[in-house]
């Protein structure tokens, strides 16, 4: 008896089936043995650990924003007027420390020189926080009846658009390690959007 076989190779799994017939004498009974071998390609996925971001407090107001954002404000005639590192020793608030200063941070006033009382005023602040002070900061922000939200990277936000007459635009971002704020007078949607972008710039400038 002649038995012919054709073998075809495939990529992926290869199954080899071998039939072995054992004949003894003239008998008609036999044993069927089936052996299977499988070769499978396994892919290993390596997940990258998320980057660790940590807050690094600026030494003064000259380090609170990236140079590009300082230049953009400068194109509008807006400069650093008050706060640590500014040309002035005047406080941001004449009645006392800012909320950020009260928890060990700093605040900075940007405005057009000579137009502090009449033009655009931008007060930026940042402070490092921990689990002990965080609830107090949240309670104070909620007491201002601000809108509450969250950024894509997990920060809680407390904000309002304000208006172009009396109410300033306010945006706060509260991370696990730091608090950032922007208050812009006069307010309104355009001022609020500027505040959001400046808070994002402060976060980028003060993390590593």
What is the per-residue pLDDT across 3-18, written as a single tens digit (0 to 9) for each? 444 444 443 333 433 3
Strand ranges in the chain using DSSP code E only, listed in sequence order: 20-21, 32-33, 79-82, 106-111, 121-128, 147-150, 156-160, 169-174, 178-185
In the numeric block, the tokens 């172009």 are attached to 164
The helix/strand/coil state of 137 is: helix
Exposure class string for 51-85: b at 16+ Cβ within 10 A, else e: eeeebeebeebebbbeeebbebbeeeebebbbbbe
Which pLDDT belongs to residue 172? 98
Which pLDDT belongs to residue 11? 39
Q: Is 158 exposed, middle or buried (0-12, 13-18, 19+ CB in 10 A)?
A: buried
What is the per-residue pLDDT across 23-72, written as a single tens digit (0 to 9) for each? 344 444 444 444 444 444 455 555 555 566 899 999 999 999 999 999 99
Q: Kindly tell me if the per-residue pLDDT of 194 is higher than 60.
A: yes
Phi first, then psi, for residue 151 (nearest 5°) are: -85, 160
Integer angstrom CA distances of residue 128 from 3, 31, 105, 155, 172: 82, 79, 7, 14, 13
Which pLDDT belongs to residue 46? 54
């Amino acid at each position: 008896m002649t038995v012919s076989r054709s073998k075809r190779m495939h990529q992926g799994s290869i199954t080899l089936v071998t039939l072995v017939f054992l004949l003894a004498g003239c008998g008609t009974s036999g044993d069927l043995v089936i052996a299977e071998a499988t070769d499978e390609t396994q892919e290993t996925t390596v997940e990258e650990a998320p980057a660790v971001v940590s807050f690094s407090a600026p030494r003064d107001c000259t380090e609170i924003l990236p140079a590009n954002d300082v230049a953009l404000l400068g194109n509008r005639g807006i400069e650093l007027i008050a706060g640590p590192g500014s040309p002035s020793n005047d406080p941001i608030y004449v009645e006392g420390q800012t909320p950020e200063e009260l928890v060990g941070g700093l605040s900075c006033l940007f405005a057009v020189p000579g137009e502090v009382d009449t033009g655009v005023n931008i007060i930026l602040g940042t402070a490092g926080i921990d689990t002990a002070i965080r609830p107090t900061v949240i309670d104070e922000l909620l007491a201002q009846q601000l809108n509450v939200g969250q950024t894509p990277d997990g920060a809680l936000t407390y904000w309002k658009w304000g208006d172009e007459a009396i109410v300033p635009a306010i945006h706060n971002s509260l991370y696990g390690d730091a608090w950032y704020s922007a208050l812009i007078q006069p307010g309104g949607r355009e001022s609020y959007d500027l505040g959001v972008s400046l808070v994002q710039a402060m976060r980028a400038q003060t993390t590593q």
